[in-house]
Amino acid sequence: MSITLPDSDHRWRCAHCGNLTRFDVVRRSRTAEFWHLDLSGEPEIEESASLVDEIESVTCRWCGKPDAIEVIARPAPGDPLPEENPGGQP
Ligand SMILES: [Zn+2]
């Protein structure tokens, strides 16, 4: 499954139940870091770079559908916000 992170103009939506706000996301990431340890051995991460950041799956939290996520446009500024709970589910 290949799903992309929504950018600043887009958002996820569950095509099955209309959920816009709650998803279980499994992602694989690989990070390069610069660790600076003090003389007592306490590390501090001073630099961090993302090498790989892949989304493996996005599952709708409401209906549990693993393959129904679509990417849609975000509402334009001034548009009324969509209902948070259009399906009437908890
Ligand atoms: Zn759903």
* pLDDT (tens digit per residue) in 7-19: 899 999 999 999 9
Do residues 84 and 17 touch, judged by C-beta distance below 8 A? no
Please give the backbone phi and psi of residue 18, each rounded to the nearest 5 degrees, phi first: 90, 0
Domain spans in the chain, listed from the N-terminal domain onward: 10-73
CA of 42 to the centre of ligand 1 (A): 44
- pLDDT for the residue numbered 76: 82
* pLDDT (tens digit per residue) in 27-78: 999 999 999 999 999 999 999 999 998 999 999 999 999 889 999 999 887 7
CA of 30 to the centre of ligand 1 (A): 29
Q: What residues sit around ligand 1, an ion, with C-beta below 5 angstroms?
A: 14, 16-17, 19, 60, 62-63, 65
Q: Whole-angstrom Cα distance, residue 47 to residue 10?
A: 29
CA of 31 to the centre of ligand 1 (A): 31
